[in-house]
Amino acid sequence: MTAEKPQKLNIYTFLATLCGIGFIPVMPGTFGSLLAYGIYMLFSGSPFQGKALFYALPALIALCLIAVFLSTKAEKTLGKDNGSIVIDEFCGYYVSVLCLPHSWLIGLYAFALFRVFDIAKPFPIKKVQELPGGWGVITDDIIAGIYTNILIQILTKIYPKFFGL
């Protein structure tokens, strides 16, 4: 019987776990999303609205493609769609606030709803996890972000006061 060799952490796992946040033993995905919300709150206005969208959307697409690459590499060390890989929650959260007014309340609702969709995995979120490599890791969170965004877009039109608008 041989002792199993510990797996080596590398730059890919470091980045895919958002500098180690993914190694928090309880609810790492929630902490990854919370980091995204915290950074969102540092902006004085929405980077995902108006003229800023012209720059932010390509940056978000690039971030998601980089996340696919990093997740693919990190899975080789950590395992298939390992819970420590939280860069997907980071990307998905920003999809959830895309083209929405910037406020702490909308950001907070987006955080909560995004986590609900990411955990519940309604169709086709669960199915897209079967995509190969990092595509499965990232795509399910992108769809959870889209669901969140659509729901908040609708709710802000129906009842803007609820969101402080």
Asked whether 152 and 110 are in contact (CB, 8 A), the reply is: yes
For 100, the token pair is 């929405």
pLDDT beyond 90 at 4: no
**Distance set, CA 70 to CA 43, 76, 135, 138, 146 (Å):** 26, 10, 10, 10, 22
DSSP E strands, 15-155: none
pLDDT digits (tens, 9 = 90+) for 27-67: 999 999 999 999 999 987 777 777 878 888 999 999 999 99
Start-to-end C-alpha separation, the chain: 64
Distance of alpha carbon 143 from alpha carbon 138, whole angstroms: 9
pLDDT averaged over the chain?
89
pLDDT beyond 80 at 99: yes
